[in-house]
Amino acid sequence: LATGTGEKVSSNLTMSSHAATTEIYDSLGSKHEIKFEWRKVSYSPENGTEWSVLIQVPEPGVLNADGSGFSNVVSGSARFNNDGTLLGFTPTTLSFTANNGSAPGQGIELNFGKIGDSNGLRSNDNPSATDNITQDGYAAGNLVGTRIDEAGTIIGSFSNGRSFGLAQVSLAVFSNNEGLESRSGNIFSQTANSGDPIFGAAGTSRRGTITASALEMSNVDLSRALTQLIVVQRGYQANSKTITTSDQMLTSLLQIKQ
């Protein structure tokens, strides 16, 4: 202040403040921290309570770069009704660039709760505290296992705790399944009578489901298998008779020589 006899009066000083930090991840799976610093700005019985917020990421990260001010800091605010419920907040989205080779301008969506409700940010007559912070980013991970569900989706499990659908096994149906030609065992081939195969997901349009980690029960045609067994048995008996007859002939020949 300039020297002199004049007086300067500051506005009301309200230093209620709170800070919280959470993790975010870029497109390469690298982890970064984003910090929220809250400070109570004003209160009135008519308008409720207003808080300002500074959102910051460590350099060289950039938030909402517009060429002005600090590139890694964004300011915002939150307002509350007289009953402590959330009246509104800004910003709702951020643009984050890590400047580490990852994709620039990655979107961050902020969800501080439902307007008019106390399921998120709320203003109560209590010391400021952070109850819960959740985020849906994740670090890079290695594939550690796979499984297949009934729809034929091949689900990969990764070392970062995430699971994703990698591919899907397709099944085929035919306009006339009875027109398929039986080859051997449970193998059938397409014919002109069966029509072309129609591929799709398991469990849809007359297609069966897929059961993973299970053994198929025997699908042998018992009548056909027993018939073949009888034929083999008769062949074995005929060969046995041939050997017996040959042995008898040799025995008779030796007796004649004696």
Pick from 59, 85, 109: which residue ends a domain? 109
Q: Which domain range does residue 158 map to?
A: 144-201
Does some domain include residue 78? yes
Q: Any residues with CB less than 8 A from the CB of 171 and at least 6 apart, and which?
A: 152, 199, 200, 201, 202, 207, 208, 210
Whether residues 38 and 99 share a domain: the answer is yes
> Given this model, what pLDDT does residue 15 score?
67
> Given this model, what pLDDT does residue 70 score?
67
Whether residues 246 and 167 share a domain: the answer is no
pLDDT for 12-25, tens place per residue? 655 688 999 999 99
Whether residues 235 and 173 share a domain: the answer is no
Mean pLDDT to the nearest integer, 98-125: 90
Instruction: Give the pLDDT band (50/70/90) at residue 214.
Output: confident
Does some domain include residue 152? yes
Does some domain include residue 241? yes
- pTM of the prediction? 0.61
| Paired strand residues for 164 | 156
The mean pLDDT value of the chain amounts to 86
In this structure, the dihedral spanned by the alpha carbons of residues 199, 204, 205 and 207, taken in order and rounded to 10 degrees, is: 70
In this structure, the dihedral spanned by the alpha carbons of residues 239, 245, 248 and 249, taken in order and rounded to 10 degrees, is: -120
Whether residues 197 and 152 share a domain: the answer is yes
pLDDT for 79-100, tens place per residue? 999 888 999 999 999 999 999 9
pLDDT for 55-80, tens place per residue? 999 989 999 865 555 688 999 999 99
Query: Under DSSP, is residue 79 helix (H, G, I), strand (E, B) or coil?
Result: strand
Query: Under DSSP, is residue 251 helix (H, G, I), strand (E, B) or coil?
Result: helix
User: For the chain, how many structural domains are there in total?
Assistant: 3
